[in-house]
């Protein structure tokens, strides 16, 4: 972990420490771009001055919409180093999801790419607000996005209504001296970023983290769990817009002075070539992606001797705790109990309480896992603190587990969030989307087990009386409204209805078994 030498744990302090100590070390490498620590500091300084010239300042809400590229890092660093609230936006989002995030977060400035893979964000923005088509570059006033005032692009092929970052004039008075003074007023207690994550409700929640919590915990995770070292070249498929990519990889790597390797998407043969060419030393990502690489036929053809292990650290974590809150690292030189998720990481306390209550249970007894501590989130967007954190500072995670001899054992979710390939999916959100499709009377979504992906999204759909529905047509409609990872991998049309219990409630256990058997029979 970085030696602060008296400096406060803030994003600008972390950036300056690394740029001064390791200016020519690469921070990020993609198949087409490279960014050193010095370049990250210089480019984000330039964008920060342009933000200040456009009246972006402390606590202004800045949306960041890119894949894992230098533009993502530069934009996020530029916003956080001047005290603005950086809000990463998922590249998976379709127009309705993007609309909800931009509006719910009250984003004032959106810095984005025109397109990524098959996603055209300029088109999605005009779908959200058709008035954009008749707008020109400058300040925006859009009823659909009432707080959005500016949209910035780095590419010159941007729409006429957008602002090109390079065309923003920098006020002569905003020099390095003023920027340093602005950065000096960024404190560990200041909000730094908002990470959107699916919860137990129908809509994602915006989790707010301070500079201190984010910077401290990323350093603790990188050293205590991942054992990141100077000179490491860490490959990750995890997006920076989620906490696992931002805190547990990108910022953790910055603490160590390491390099992060990223691609637009994971493509096993191309990825293996990339890992070989860049002499990767560590893989940090979901188990299913690691399996896809190691099981690919070309794996044996690549020289990957630089990788010092494909170890998957056993860690339990969530967005609300800046990533992992307990860990059973194999590098600690001890054996862990079967099924254990290790011991708490520094900065986080744990308590097991009765489900639905606050009374602690005895050691070894199961209950709801609660967390608190200096690295816990400080709030959620448009939620009062009392709604999400109890009077004693505990956050009730919705996870079911127990402590035994100081080790944490996780048994599952009390709420029904699906963990599909490491990504959270709220069943009700998918059910609402399916029920809006033509001919659908009812939809029930569950997570069915998969050996590599953890869980797959599966749906049982009841058609309206006298209506025939085509599963492929339903899936085509869903792709227009939902991120790809939320689309059911198995969709079953059940004309005889959904199995129910004697009390009339849905029999999810039986339904899960039926859908799992159907999925296996069809080879999905």
Residue 489: give its domain's CATH number. 3.30.300.30
Check residue 482 and give its pLDDT.
93
- Domain membership of residue 309 (yes or no) is no
**Whole-angstrom Cα distance, residue 46 to residue 44?**
5
Last residue of a domain, one of 259, 291, 322: 259
Check pLDDT > 70 for residue 3: no
Q: Are 428 and 409 found together in one domain?
A: no
What are residue 426's phi and psi, to 5 degrees?
Answer: -90, 115
408 plus 423 within the same structural domain: no
Report the C-alpha gap between 340 and 408 in whole angstroms: 6
- Beta carbons within 10 angstroms of residue 301's beta carbon: 12
| Higher per-residue confidence, 18 vs 1 | 18
Q: Among 284, 212, 234, which residue's Cα sits nearest to residue 25?
A: 234
For residues 472 and 432, membership in a common domain is answered with yes
Does 294 map to a domain?
no
Residues 401 and 480 in one domain: no
Backbone angles phi, psi at 297, to 5 degrees: -60, -25
| Domain boundary, last residue among 413, 435, 463 | 413
- Give the residue with greater pLDDT, 335 vs 85: 85
Other Cβ atoms less than 10 A from the Cβ of 305: the count is 8
Q: Burial-class residue 118 by CB neighbours within 10 Å (0-12, 13-18, 19+).
A: exposed
Beta-carbon contacts of residue 436 (< 8 Å; ≥ 6 apart): 481
For residue 23, being part of any structural domain is answered with yes
**Helix/strand/coil (H/E/C) assignment for every residue in 494-511:** CCCCCCECCCCCECHHHH
Q: State the total domains in the chain.
A: 3
Find the domain containing 360 and state its range.
Answer: 314-413
Q: 56 by DSSP, 3-state: which?
A: coil
Q: 13 and 4 in contact (C-beta within 8 Å)?
A: yes
The domain that holds 250 is classified in CATH as 3.40.50.980
Of these ranges, 14-23, 220-229, 287-296, 445-454, the one predicted with the greatest mean pLDDT is 14-23
Residue 201 has pLDDT above 50, yes or no: no
Least confident piece of the model among 66-80, 257-271, 337-351: 337-351
Cα 423 to Cα 453: distance, rounded to the nearest angstrom: 10
* DSSP codes, 401-457: EEEETTEEEEEEESS--EEETTEEE-HHHHHHHHHTSTTEEEEEEEEEEETTTEEEE
Distances (CA, A) of 89 to 43, 115, 183: 21, 14, 24
113 and 67 in contact (C-beta within 8 Å)?
A: yes
- The pTM assigned to this predicted structure is 0.88
Task: Identify the domain boundary among 363, 393, 413.
Answer: 413
449, 412 Cβ separation under 8 angstroms? no
Helix (H, G, I), strand (E, B) or coil at 206: strand
Considering the domain architecture, whether residues 346 and 437 belong to the same structural domain is answered as: no
Same-domain pairing of 248 and 383: no
Report yes or no: 333 and 340 within 8 Å, Cβ to Cβ. Answer: no
Sequence-ordered alpha helix ranges (H) in 229-333 = 243-245, 252-256, 268-277, 287-294
pLDDT single digits (tens) 358-409: 999 999 988 899 999 999 999 999 999 999 999 999 999 988 889 998 999 9
Both 105 and 197 in a single domain?
Answer: yes
Here the CATH number for the domain that contains residue 409 is 2.30.38.10
pLDDT at 288: 80
Most confidently predicted of 27-36, 151-160, 284-293: 27-36
Residue 2 within any structural domain of the chain: no
Give the model's pLDDT for residue 523. Answer: 75
What are the tens digits of pLDDT across the range 120-169?
A: 999 999 999 999 988 887 899 999 999 999 999 999 888 989 999 999 99
In the structure encoding, which two tokens stand for residue 329, read together? 């690292």
**In terms of domains, do 44 and 144 share one?**
yes
Q: What is the mean pLDDT of residues 289-297?
A: 91
List of residues 6+ apart from 343 with CB closer than 8 A: 326, 327, 328, 406, 407, 408
Question: Rounded to an integer, what is the distance from CA 178 to the centroid of its chain?
Answer: 33
Greater confidence (428 vs 202) lies with 428
Q: Note whether 347 and 473 are same-domain residues.
A: no
Distance CA 46, CA 54 (A): 13
Same domain, 195 and 67: yes
Cβ contacts of residue 233 below 8 Å, gap of 6+?
29, 258, 259, 261, 278, 279, 280, 281, 282, 306
Q: Are 379 and 435 found together in one domain?
A: no
What one-character-per-residue DSSP string does 11-48 give? HHHHHHHHHHH-TTSEEEE-SS-EEEHHHHHHHHHHHH
């Amino acid at each position: 972990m970085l030696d602060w030498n008296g400096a406060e744990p803030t994003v600008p302090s972390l950036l300056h420490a690394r740029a001064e100590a390791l200016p020519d070390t690469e921070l990020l490498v993609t198949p087409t771009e490279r960014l050193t620590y010095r370049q990250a500091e210089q480019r984000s300084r330039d964008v920060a001055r342009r933000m200040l010239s456009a009246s972006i300042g402390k606590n202004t809400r800045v949306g960041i919409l890119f894949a894992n590229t230098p533009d993502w890092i530069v934009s996020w660093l530029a916003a956080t180093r001047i005290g603005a609230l950086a809000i990463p936006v998922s590249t998976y989002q379709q127009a309705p999801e993007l609309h909800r995030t931009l509006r719910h977060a009250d984003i004032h400035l959106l810095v984005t790419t025109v397109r990524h893979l098959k996603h055209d964000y300029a088109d999605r923005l005009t779908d959200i607000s058709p008035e954009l088509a008749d707008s020109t570059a400058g300040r925006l006033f859009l009823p659909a996005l009432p707080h959005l005032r500016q949209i910035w692009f780095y590419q010159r092929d941007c729409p006429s209504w957008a602002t090109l970052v390079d065309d923003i004039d920098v006020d002569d008075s905003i020099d390095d001296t003023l920027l340093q003074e602005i950065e000096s007023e960024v404190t560990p207690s200041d909000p730094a970023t908002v990470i959107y994550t699916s919860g137990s409700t129908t809509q994602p929640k915006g989790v707010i983290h301070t500079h201190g919590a984010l910077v401290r915990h990323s350093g603790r995770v990188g050293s205590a769990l991942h054992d990141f070292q100077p000179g490491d070249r860490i490959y990750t498929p995890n997006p920076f817009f989620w906490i696992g990519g931002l805190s547990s990889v990108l910022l953790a790597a910055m603490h160590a002075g390491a390099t992060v390797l990223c691609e637009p998407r994971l493509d096993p043969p191309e990825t293996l070539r990339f890992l070989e060419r860049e002499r990767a030393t560590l893989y940090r990502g979901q188990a299913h992606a690691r399996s896809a690489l190691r099981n690919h036929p070309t794996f044996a053809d690549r020289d990957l001797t630089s990788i010092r292990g494909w170890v998957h650290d056993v860690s339990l974590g969530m967005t609300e705790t800046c990533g992992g809150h307990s860990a059973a690292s194999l590098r600690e030189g001890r054996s862990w109990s079967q099924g254990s998720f290790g011991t708490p990481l520094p900065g986080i306390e744990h308590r097991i309480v009765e489900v639905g209550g606050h009374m602690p249970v005895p050691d070894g007894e199961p209950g709801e896992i609660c967390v608190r501590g200096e690295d816990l989130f400080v709030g959620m967007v448009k939620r009062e603190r009392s709604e999400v954190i109890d009077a004693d500072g505990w956050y009730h995670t919705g996870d079911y587990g127990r402590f035994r001899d100081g080790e944490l054992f996780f048994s599952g979710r009390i709420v029904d969030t699906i963990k599909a390939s490491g990504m959270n999916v709220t069943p009700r959100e998918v059910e609402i989307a399916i029920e809006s499709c033509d001919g659908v009377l009812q939809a029930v979504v569950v997570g069915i087990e998969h050996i590599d992906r953890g869980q797959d999204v599966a749906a049982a759909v009841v058609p309206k009386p006298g209506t025939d529905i085509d599963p492929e047509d339903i899936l085509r409609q869903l792709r227009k409204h939902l991120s790809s990872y939320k689309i059911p991998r198995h969709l079953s049309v059940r004309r005889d209805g959904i199995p129910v219990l004697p009390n009339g409630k849905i029999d999810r256990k039986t339904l899960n078994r039926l859908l799992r058997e159907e999925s296996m029979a069809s080879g999905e």
